[in-house]
Structure 1
């Protein structure tokens, strides 16, 4: 039988052999014995494949898999690994939802589901590091579970979608299935119920976090949503549209194709960044290379148009047009925008590990070589997206009625890097505003949105304060009724420093003092 919301067995059944053998006067079993005994946990559709005692670990010795090593020590914990609903699927391939559950010795009573990334396909280390600053959930005593969403494969390998159940598990079902099974294991291991449940994720994990609030509103008390990959068909359409606009400004080769690496020279890219900073940097009261007042920035590329021949100090008319149109969304035949605009931000020209700036360089990107298309049929593309059932299942952009989630006191924080080149931060902000309109006055007591200046997709970027603890903020809101306002954000490069990350629409305004100290700023709203 499959694990569903109605198929969970009574919690008292999972340790039947161990409990029956224990005499009344037996001493409390050691944590090692308790961890080993998890092999006997009984739940329909669940197979435990390994139980391992791990740690404790010293600071800086454990990698998150996508960032620097964890800066704080990790507690000793029991790692339970297994698979849920194992089966043979399409083309005889094996499927099932593989997971890893970390059960710390010193449990806080809290539970966290860790979101995935890309198309998932692997089980990440269950740390709960997303938007947790330098102190992941496991280090705070959370029980943390991670999973592969129902298939095994490379991060962008979509072959699993040939299997119906695997597609459904990836799209949404795995979030509920893993959560309910892991909650049962957690309560069983500690012998008492979970006090509070949380979820946090970025990119695909952000989409999963959104769908948890939208489709399974009773599962979690607090949720953190980062840069959600919530309508990838539309975002990919917008990126393809932008590439066409840029390509139209490019010189041509002998076959009439655009020479992509000559659209913007190195001096052009510096000109863009310098002009953007000149127009928008000081809006927060400090010229420091960070556009903190994103809501007040009204960058005008037209001011850079050459009055005569193209030189290094100005843009050609074609370049200006390309910039102005590429950052705007494509529109269908009726004039309706098919995505959101992209923000003008410092990371538009950043080319760091794993991501590239929005302005093209001609270099191969994460998804392959740069496009050389000069035209595109926008209406045909959007019709194909609308007809794709998989796109509809993974689209969390439409559902805004969250009154069941907010009705039981649920809190949800959103964050998105202004320099994210894949998913526009303004698209997430658009959803947040529509949810605000749909949910009324309770939204102000249920949600916040944070725009992160300079940050790329889920982290990194040029001159950005991308380390912040929104997990702690949502916990304090849920458990102490302390609504989050400014959250301290930190960086290490190019120089160490900190400043407030302010809830939208406010921004950190410099009020004087040491610009490396968060105390030198206050959250202010744009005029």
Structure 2
């Protein structure tokens, strides 16, 4: 029996023999995949799903074979069950491509493998004929408590990418009787981090990667989250019991006022006042413009509100002024409900429900502090000492290497995008990484041959915001990989503004109005 596939699982390397090839995708062939189970690789279930409407996507999907599987099931620290679960779906109209659907947050669940992880407005990749795989990244604990187990941290951080990819490709080859001709990893947030991690650690796995809003420097961005929460909480009005209510630090009217003033200051920098700031890097905005001269009212910001807005946008630092993180863009998308959900929440109790408050508190105490500290409280984070407790997490969680030579030399392409008003992670951090990549890759021209970054005006974290957040990154990366058709622009649109299109330009260029033509058409702008 010929050994054709190598899987790296935990601490050992095993060579898995391929099953006899199956030429026809159907329910019988799907059921036969169960015999691929081994001592360490268990197929939990195989299911043939007939074509039709899918409740996960509200889209029509082709018939497909679904495989639920777990790699390396075991009990970890504290007798917590651990293992890399995945959902693999193989359509009967297979286009020959393999698609890894990136995760989100701290993972901890297997999301339906339909080909999400793309910007809004796109057909699920499964419906377009892609074989799609998703994973829990080694655990079922979205609260981060898997982090008490040292090995589980590494599996979540990077090892699951390789293990799940190789297992999935082996099943695809056995089922269809041929290997995928191209492989893609597409994800946003933690899925974007996984994409960057794959390009750095596993350059042979994927031909094309789409990394959206990548949280690639978590050992630092979580420090900045603590910085923001503490500063916002310090000025939050109190309830009758004297408890600060985070959601009240800024009203919706305050945020709308900021948004309008950012537009007034920076909208015209691209040659057109159209409600978008196309180059936030050139927007030298200071919220002191809105400071009240007298009593506080809804047409101005208090002294504390101005100071904290300046402080959180400047980025976190220690008492000596050493920066832990980069600044944040001032973008009119600050008025979008997504900014509130991430930064402030809407809880009227002393327990905040802002996404950052829960996600980072759990992440820091369980995953990013070494050793894990179950009693940690993010409101007590010490910016002089606690960052040192997080340094070890960079080894497994951060995807900061700018040496992509191995990925580049085998023909890999990576498309990165980031919303300018992202409240979860700063777009300036991603731009800073791209600048470093440019330096280490021989200059901008050499870098754009294989890696391009697109900053999206007024888009929030992965989607949403007050700008245009729908564009087809998957089609762009496929054309780049398979036809050498590099994306000179991405055309963005929005279901809320169907008559408008906007060009997304590869960083460091930005879109400027040509001076004539339809101002609502992407064709009237140039990237300069």
Shorter-chain TM-score tier: 0.7 to 0.9
Contact 1:209 1:225 in 2 (8 A): yes
TM-align CA RMSD: 3.1
Deviation for aligned residue 1:244: 3.8
User: Distance between the aligned counterparts of 1:62 and 1:510, measured in 2?
Assistant: 42
Partner secondary structure for residue 344 of structure 1: coil
User: Pick from 27, 31, 34: which aligns with 1:36?
Assistant: 31
Deviation for aligned residue 1:434: 1.0
> Matches of residues 94-105 of structure 1 in structure 2 within 5 Å?
94-105=81-92
Residue 151 to residue 244, structure 1, CA distance change in 2 (3 Å): closer
Contact 2:188 2:214 in 1 (8 A): yes
Deviation for aligned residue 1:305: 3.2
> Matches of residues 362-381 of structure 1 in structure 2 within 5 Å?
364-368=353-357, 377-381=382-386
Partner secondary structure for residue 390 of structure 2: helix
Residue 40 to residue 355, structure 1, CA distance change in 2 (3 Å): farther
Aligned residues: 496
Contact 1:350 1:357 in 2 (8 A): no
Q: TM-score, normalised by structure 2?
A: 0.85
User: Pick from 372, 391, 403: which aligns with 1:401?
Assistant: 403
Give CA deviations for 1:176-215 in whole Å, capped at 9, x if unaligned.
Answer: 0011111111112111222111111111111111111111
Bigger shift: residues 365-374 or 466-475: 365-374
Partner of 1:25: none
User: Distance between the aligned counterparts of 1:216 and 1:48, measured in 2?
Assistant: 25
Unaligned 5+ segments in structure 1 are: 20-27
Partner of 2:430: 428
Residue 43 to residue 214, structure 1, CA distance change in 2 (3 Å): farther
> Matches of residues 376-391 of structure 1 in structure 2 within 5 Å?
377-386=382-391, 389-391=392-394
User: Pick from 442, 447, 462: which aligns with 2:451?
Assistant: 447
Q: Does 1:467 align with 2:462?
A: no
Deviation for aligned residue 1:225: 0.7
User: Distance between the aligned counterparts of 2:85 and 2:415, measured in 1?
Assistant: 28
Give CA deviations for 1:414-434 in whole Å, capped at 9, x if unaligned.
Answer: 111112111111111111111
Bigger shift: residues 505-514 or 224-233: 505-514
User: Pick from 169, 177, 182: which aligns with 2:155?
Assistant: 169
User: Distance between the aligned counterparts of 1:29 and 1:186, measured in 2?
Assistant: 12
Q: Does 1:81 align with 2:68?
A: yes
Partner of 1:47: 42
Give CA deviations for 1:113-153 in whole Å, capped at 9, x if unaligned.
Answer: 11111111211111222226512322222211111111123
Contact 2:209 2:414 in 1 (8 A): yes
User: Distance between the aligned counterparts of 1:524 and 1:217, measured in 2?
Assistant: 30
User: Distance between the aligned counterparts of 1:297 and 1:275, measured in 2?
Assistant: 12
> Matches of residues 202-241 of structure 1 in structure 2 within 5 Å?
202-241=188-227
Partner secondary structure for residue 52 of structure 2: coil
Q: TM-score, normalised by structure 1?
A: 0.85
Partner of 1:183: 169
Contact 1:8 1:44 in 2 (8 A): no
User: Pick from 324, 327, 331: which aligns with 1:341?
Assistant: 327
Unaligned 5+ segments in structure 2 are: 1-5, 362-376
Deviation for aligned residue 1:278: 0.6
Give CA deviations for 1:1-30 in whole Å, capped at 9, x if unaligned.
Answer: x9417413232xx24xx98xxxxxxxx756
> Matches of residues 22-421 of structure 1 in structure 2 within 5 Å?
31-41=26-36, 45-58=40-53, 61-64=54-57, 69-70=58-59, 73-131=60-118, 133-153=121-141, 155=142, 157-247=143-233, 260=246, 263-332=249-318, 335-352=321-338, 356=341, 358=343, 364-368=353-357, 377-386=382-391, 389-397=392-400, 399-421=401-423
Deviation for aligned residue 1:328: 0.7
Partner secondary structure for residue 264 of structure 1: coil
Residue 119 to residue 253, structure 1, CA distance change in 2 (3 Å): closer
